[in-house]
Structure 1
């Protein structure tokens, strides 16, 4: 089914597939006494966010304004688009599911990158779609004949867990080929806010849907706030298909506030860039470290090094959780570590036995 008919269809999870599709592993450490490097979230939140949340909670005795004018305006300013193109969602993953729901029918195929975010393939399967797995760094080189055989393609920018981001010019060329093949392109920019790279919204191409997450950049993953950006028929279908009151009042108010904290964003980007390079230099004493534009680093254990499971367990014994990246397709000797602030990063390095840190031998302050 191609673009001309997609706008009239919004699906939910397939009742048969939902009984066979399993959940996928993610980072995130529930023990508050363990320093969490398994999830790629900002360790800081914008100043003043608590007061915004408290005021929003007091107003939560009424339904939120389903038009979300303030949130749309703030999101549009942040990424550089028309507010009407912004579709509020409860996190980036909700935007991804909605994009697939308006596009894919049972049995249709979609191009999914690997190693990459496991929810792409899972969400497709939940809706009865068929993921066709492609190396993430080869996806944008695919020829029109391949694109014409699928309804949907996903690009993760920067890619998770590798951290490298496809350039906008290369992405624009791929988006053009997708449009000519009548294939919808979803660009997941969950971590792009940590970089200075321009958003794919600048392409202003009708077949492109951009998914954004607020909660990683602003250190509030439990808030669940995000949005999609699209134009033309896709924009109309997303707006019609989104759930009513798709953001709670606290999420909408806090999200609007955070998106306008330019100084906080600039400071975060500078810190992540500087600390990422410092971490890379230290980690390369023991690991092969993949080039990254993101707030995380993918590390390969060299032959003869400790195996992944024992390394993860050893770090945890020292109070630090790192991500076992062997759960990503195609990775078998890898861990992923987030980039936090200097003190936390020093604890990470100490737990892995590398670098010169200001912590004692057990990795604790």
Structure 2
């Protein structure tokens, strides 16, 4: 299975001889209003520490995160992006059987296969309810040891409430739930489990990448019971998080106003885009609660010619043909600034006539 990601600017630039700043990248779902100004100055200042090793235990950032989230620091593990932690979890717990709800982020499957787990898939509606998840767990072919659940889900943008998640988890106490909240900061009514004490069978993943717009720094974290974090830490590679990322991460925790302002602005732009797609007969947008939209061609034809046509205009979209349960007629777009969103809409109208 193709496990490619969005945002592969390097490949496009290499192929066409373009510079990254020449391209409008709708394929990577990153906050278009970031990073905060303070992140830039902190990054430059961190160069002073380049001759020293970073703290392999990330103590300062863990303490700061713990204070912000009201969580003990020994229940926090910092990673080189949440992707490092996604691949670490199956290695650390060696589950026999992993259940993945589809369509969703492909690295769950890749991480389970790398750990030689048996993988089961449950195809859900694009806007599932908690009952769909419950039925999928009940209908699994064999005992499930671990579940990956993306909330809000990539690429659909659907989101379960905190109460619904807690209900599902409580009814499956023998299953380890990995709740990936990489896009949680974009949801208006935060559907995060971090607002209540975590059960022993839950790991919550979070990312600095999306909301703060720092994908090159690679910074994420896991929160779970202390014994779970200890087990993960035993297999985690040392010094996987660099000093610059740690310094910037600390300063970003002070940017509450930036996060709230970004959420409001992105909601407004998402509503603008969704309204534009409602006026098109050839493209249908799936309702989303986060910073991207899943789009389908109503004629069910492949989006590849459309994607290539847009590339020639230096605009990238994310084909979703490699997401289980979607196929060739789907693509995903990030919510960007108004002028960029207008340009995409105009280009799509021209090409879908």
Looking at structure 1, the residues matched to 159 and 141 of structure 2 have their Cα atoms a distance apart, in angstroms, of: 21
Aligned to 2:182: 190
In the other structure, the counterpart of 1:328 is 323
**If each structure's helix is expressed as a fraction of its own residues, which one has the higher value?**
2
Q: Pairwise mapping of residues 75-154 of structure 1 onto structure 2 (< 5 A)?
A: 75-105=65-95, 108-136=96-124, 137=128, 138-142=132-136, 146=140, 149-154=143-148
Please list the CA deviations of residues 182-209 of structure 1 after superposition, one character each: whole Å capped at 9, or x if unmatched. Answer: 2111001111111241422324111100
CA distance in structure 1 between the aligned counterparts of 2:67 and 2:284, rounded to whole angstroms: 39
Q: Which residue, 225, 229, 241 being the options, matches 1:231?
A: 225
CA distance in 2 between partners of 1:23 and 1:76 (Å): 37
1:7 maps to none
Contact kept in structure 2, 1:88 and 1:246, CA below 8 Å? no
Distance in 1 of aligned mates of 2:38 and 2:113: 41
Change (3 A) 1:328 1:143: closer
Q: Say if 1:78 and 1:322 are closer, same or farther in 2 by CA, change over 3 A.
A: farther
Are the equivalent residues in 2 in contact too, given 1:91–1:227 (CA < 8 A)? Answer: yes
Alpha-carbon shift at residue 294 of structure 1 (Å) = 1.1
Superposed structure 1 runs of 4+ greater than 3 Å apart: 77-80, 140-148
Q: Would the aligned equivalents of 1:104 and 1:151 in 2 still touch at CA under 8 Å?
A: no
Alpha-carbon distance in structure 1 between the residues aligned to 2:93 and 2:163: 25
Deviation at residue 77 of structure 1 after TM alignment: 4.3
Using the TM superposition, give the Cα deviation of residue 242 of structure 1 relative to its aligned residue in structure 2, in angstroms: 2.2
Q: Any unmatched runs of 5+ in structure 2? A: 14-19
Q: Which residue of 281, 284, 289 corresponds with 1:288?
A: 284
User: Following the alignment from structure 1 to structure 2, what is the Cα–Cα distance between the partners of residues 140 and 280?
Assistant: 30
Indicate if the aligned counterparts of 2:74 and 2:226 stay in contact, CA closer than 8 A: no
Contact 1:194 1:295 in 2 (8 A): yes
Task: Identify if the C-alpha distance between structure 1 residues 343 and 78 changes in structure 2 by more than 3 Å, giving closer, same or farther.
Answer: farther
The whole-number CA distance in structure 2 between the counterparts of 1:150 and 1:112 is 10
**Do the aligned partners of residues 257 and 111 (structure 1) sit closer, same or farther apart at CA in structure 2, a change above 3 Å counting?**
same
Structure 1 distance, partners of 2:293, 2:70, is 28
Distance 1:298 1:198 in 2: 20
Q: Give the distance between the partners of 2:230 and 2:302, measured in 1 at CA.
A: 49
Superposed CA offset, 1:295-321 (max 9, x none): 0000111127x6411111122222210
- Tell me the distance in 2 between the aligned counterparts of 1:113 and 1:198: 18
Superposition CA RMSD, Å: 2.1
TM-score by length of 2: 0.87
TM-score, with length taken from structure 1: 0.85
Shift of 1:141: 3.8
Residue equivalent to 1:346: 342
State the distance in 1 between where 2:180 and 2:46 align. Answer: 28
Cα pair 1:209 1:228 within 8 Å, conserved: yes
Whole-Å separation in 2 of the counterparts to 1:330 and 1:245: 37
How many Å apart are 1:262 and its aligned residue? 0.8
Structure 1 residues 152 and 40, CA gap change in structure 2 (3 angstroms): same
- Structure 1 residue runs of 5 or longer lacking an equivalent are 1-21, 355-360
Deviation at 1:256, TM superposition (A): 1.4
**SS of residue paired to 1:178:** coil
- Following superposition, the deviation at residue 83 of structure 1 comes to 2.2
